Every structure is written in C-alpha cells, then in structure tokens.
Amino acid sequence: MKELVEYIAKALVDNPDQVHVSEVVGDQTSVLELKVAKEDLGKVIGKQGRSARAMRTILSAASTKLKKRTVLEIIE
C-alpha cells in the first residue's frame, strides 16, 4: 500500500524527491501518512479535494482485497 500511494503522489507533484510516505500498522487498520513539499500540497489535494478522494478510493479498493482497512492522511 505504501508503494502505491508513493507512486501516485510522485506522478502528481513537481518535486517527486520530496515525497515521503510513512506507515503506522495496527491489527486491522494501517495509517499511511503522506508528506510532500509545501508548494505541491495543492496538487496532491486537488480541486475540492478530488485528487485526495481518488487516492483514498484506490487505496480502499486495494486494501479490501487484503481484508484490511487503510487510512490516508496528508500531512502539511
């Protein structure tokens, strides 16, 4: 899951070297924290949050196959 989020985020931003994804793993739930450069934050979120919502939808579909719950948090 971590690699999936990192791949999508790097495709969206201007500074792909500043994309960092950290994972906090629990029993049933994993939390992915996405950090990008300050100037790329708007690109990751998108207009009215559409890009962020799309990333969360893809992540939800992929994590359903693994029978886990994954939450994406975008850190400023």
Domains and their CATH numbers in the chain: 2-75 (3.30.300.20)
Q: Which residues make Cβ contacts (< 8 Å) with residue 41, sequence separation at least 6? A: 74, 76
**How far is Cα 25 from Cα 71, in angstroms, rounded to an integer?**
10
- pLDDT tens, residue order, the chain (76 aa): 899 999 999 999 999 999 999 999 988 899 999 999 999 999 999 999 999 999 999 999 999 998 889 999 999 8
Alpha carbon separation from 69 to 10, 25, 49, 62, 76 (Å, rounded) = 23, 10, 21, 10, 23
Within the chain, residue ranges assigned H as helices are 2-12, 41-45, 50-65
pTM confidence score = 0.87
